[in-house]
Amino acid sequence: MSALGLAAVLSGCGADGASSDVTLTLVAADYGNGAADSSKKYWADLVERYESDHPDVHIDVSVYSWNDVDRKVKEMVDAGDPPDMAQIGAYADYASQGLLYRAGDLLSIPVQADFLSQLSGAGEVNSVQYGMPFAASTRLLFYNKALFAEAGLTPPETWDELVECAEALKADGVKFPYALPLGPEEAQAETLQWLLSGGGGYTDIGGTYGIDSTENVETVSWLRDELVGKGLTGPVAPGELDRAKAFEAFAAGDVGMLNGHPSLMEMARKKGVTYGMVPIPGAEGETPSALGVADWMMAFEKNGHRDEIGDFLDFVYSEENVLDFSREYDLLPVTNSASRAMAASGQDKELKPFLDQLPLSELYPVGKTSWAAVNAAIKQKIGRAVEPGGSPAGVLGELQAAAVRAESAE
């Protein structure tokens, strides 16, 4: 909280100047699963505490489901009436259009410096930070402890061991020995995690798309031949299996293994499924880099109120508030201070394996305005690459061509 005390001195002091009776609008995503844990409750509590100390500033928060929130913000922007702040899935399009405040013009120096470095870097366009990370997660391999015990298995560390486990689970009648969700809901996540475990990724070290790299073709070919081709991924074709359905099947006890993020823990507990979590297996051993995912806060310039927005966001990103949100929704803190507090706290011990992965995680190339189009293409096409008789090189080549076209259109 000491950073907040410095906010007035260290914030990007503004041309707007302080004014009375300012109302700031915020459109935010809902991380809950229903009315009982809706993000509306989180924001209502936070806003009440902020407004009690800032009687001349009012925060009007609208919370929408993830199915609607990005579209809602786009509609507002297209109508010429953007919110003051938006907490959604992507920021780069708005930054490239010159619609957003720079993070450094809003946040106090201690607060901006507190972001985890790989997350703040992912929030940059042309080396300037516009996207402020709001929530993060990584992936681990979840396995059903009861099914593993019945088959006499230990968790896999390599791809070959994963196949051996999946074959034993299949022999025991497990419905989904390994669930491979490459359906359109979140295929980009499962795909990137596998590409990383094979030494590849969506981009090369210089940030250029390399979707059809040799490493990626080899990884997807292995998935087609060693998992899907051997009938180890269950009765639903990977291209038709969405992540949410795969999680539901795991919580129902029908899945031996799958890549999961922290929210799967609570789902499994509620259904009485005992689970274990280990680092993602790689081709030769533990994957050196896990998939990292972040959601973003951004602030639009049109309505002004830079100082008021900055002061409110300093409050949003206080250690206490970041921890509260992360714990409420089984997500990872986006700041160093909250991450240290979580790592040191006994109440967060189940999140620690995910927390340990975050500093070495690799995120989607969200700073590219082309990513939205590439993301959509991956969701639509990648399932075909692992079908029996499918062409990994052909599908990845199509995706690379789509990426090049999207980059050229920027």
Whether 410 has a pLDDT exceeding 70, the answer reads no
Rounded distance between C-alpha atoms, residue 161 and residue 191, angstroms: 20
Whether 87 has a pLDDT exceeding 60, the answer reads yes
For residue 216, what are its two tokens? 């990626």
Whether 13 has a pLDDT exceeding 70, the answer reads no
Whether 391 has a pLDDT exceeding 80, the answer reads yes
Whether 399 has a pLDDT exceeding 90, the answer reads yes
| Contact call for residues 336 and 114 (beta carbons, < 8 A) | yes
pLDDT in tens, 196-215: 999 999 999 888 999 999 99
| Contact call for residues 93 and 58 (beta carbons, < 8 A) | no
Write down the mean pLDDT value for the chain. Answer: 91
Rounded distance between C-alpha atoms, residue 92 and residue 383, angstroms: 27
Residue that is written with structure tokens 């076209």 in the block: 405
Cα 359 to Cα 261, 273, 334: the distances in Å are 16, 29, 11
The DSSP secondary-structure symbol of 16 reads: S
> What percentage of the chain reaches a pLDDT higher than 70?
95
Alpha helices in 18-158, H assignment, sequence order: 39-53, 69-78, 92-96, 109-113, 117-122, 145-151
For residue 327, what are its two tokens? 């714990």
Average pLDDT of the residues in 8-26? 59
Q: What is the pLDDT of residue 20?
A: 64
pLDDT in tens, 238-257: 999 999 899 999 999 999 99
Average pLDDT of the residues in 212-221? 97
> What percentage of the chain reaches a pLDDT higher than 90?
79
Q: What is the pLDDT of residue 10?
A: 37
Average pLDDT of the residues in 396-410? 92
Rounded distance between C-alpha atoms, residue 108 and residue 15, angstroms: 15
Whether 9 has a pLDDT exceeding 60, the answer reads no
Whether 36 has a pLDDT exceeding 60, the answer reads yes
Closest Cα to residue 43, out of 57, 62, 18?
62
Whether 1 has a pLDDT exceeding 50, the answer reads no
Q: How confident is the model at residue 285 (pLDDT cuts 50, 70, 90)?
A: confident
pTM for this predicted structure: 0.84
Whether 5 has a pLDDT exceeding 50, the answer reads no
Q: What is the pLDDT of residue 4?
A: 36
pLDDT in tens, 252-273: 999 999 999 998 998 999 999 9
pLDDT in tens, 318-372: 999 999 999 999 899 999 999 999 999 888 888 989 998 888 889 999 989 899 8
Q: What is the pLDDT of residue 360?
A: 82
Q: What is the pLDDT of residue 205?
A: 86
Average pLDDT of the residues in 271-292? 91
Rounded distance between C-alpha atoms, residue 266 and residue 279, angstroms: 19
